[in-house]
Structure 1
Amino acid sequence: MKPIIIAAGGLVTNEKNELLMIFRRGKWDLPKGKLDEGESIEACALREVREETGLQQLDLLNEVGITYHEYFDKFTNADVIKRTHWYAMKTVTDQNLTPQTEEDIEQIVWADRKQIADHLTNSYKNIVEIIDKYLNSSSR
């Protein structure tokens, strides 16, 4: 059985209801990352969004869902399964967006519905699924 790595991330919207998306390694993605030892899932989601985007003012709302994907982890030198817990978050746009370049983030954008759809044509299946779930949920 493959090891499971736990991670968390955010579906961050602003006052215009635009979704924050990042461009990393040739694909559109959402900010997320691995859980640190002793950290809560919620704290991990907030920390990762802050680290990867530079946003500091974030309000954590509800959990949107969980995604799974497999990849080769260079640190453990093995195939692993990443279980990512996704949270809805709200913020305001008058903050500087700073891509975390050491995580290969090249660009951060606020995307409206049309731009989200365009970006999802060049994204990962699990990202498409969690954004669709978020956009179609009544909890927004």
Structure 2
Amino acid sequence: MPALESMTLLVAAVIVHDRTTDRILLLQRGPRSAFAPGRWDLPTGKSEPGEPVTETAVRELREETGLTVGPDSLRAVHLVHGSQRPTAPNGFLTVVFAAHEWAGEPENREPEKHAQVRWFDAAALPGNLVPSNARALRAYLDGNGPGLSLHGWDG
């Protein structure tokens, strides 16, 4: 196992975009969530040891919403490099994927973590999004192509 001082946390986030209705699926973090309580976010989660980030995205989406996607259906649309955390001294790297095809109907599969799962019109997203993923989502919706956001590095 690498020394803690060299660790960067790998995270996957998924923009579930229903292009027919131009809606985006978001989760609202629960009031007792350790991270960003009450804020809306993309389905997001940490990679397990030895797990490719595409499999992390597939697993987290299924665990949080019940939706099933294949890794080949994911398209990488943004990277977020966030500043250090106690468990990730070199910060976190979130690979943000877009999914336009999936199976199932969304439901809150982790009610202990999330207050609700809900579709939002892409032109009327809630204002209280988790900032790091909000930048990635806006870049995706603006059609800015794959990009990179830095979060929390400037003090």
Q: Which residue of 2 aligns with 1:38?
A: 50
Q: Which residue of 2 aligns with 1:81?
A: 91
Q: Is the 8 A contact 1:6 1:84 kept in 2?
A: yes
Identify which of 100, 106, 123 aligns with 2:115: 106
**C-alpha distance in structure 2 between counterparts of 1:96 and 1:22, whole Å:** 10
Q: Which residue of 1 aligns with 2:74?
A: 61
- Residue 14 of structure 2 aligns to which amino acid in structure 1? G
**C-alpha distance in structure 2 between counterparts of 1:7 and 1:26, whole Å:** 20
Gaps of 5+ in 2: 30-36, 146-155
Q: Which residue of 1 aligns with 2:24?
A: 19
Matches within 5 A, 1:113-124: 113-116=122-125, 119=126, 121-124=127-130
**C-alpha distance in structure 2 between counterparts of 1:47 and 1:94, whole Å:** 14
Could you say which structure has the higher helix fraction?
A: 1
Compute the displacement of 1:41 (Å). 1.0
Q: Is the 8 A contact 1:60 1:87 kept in 2?
A: no
Could you say which structure has the higher strand fraction?
A: 1
Gaps of 5+ in 1: none
TM-score, normalised via structure 1 length? 0.79
Q: Is the 8 A contact 1:8 1:86 kept in 2?
A: yes
Percent identity between matched residues is 27
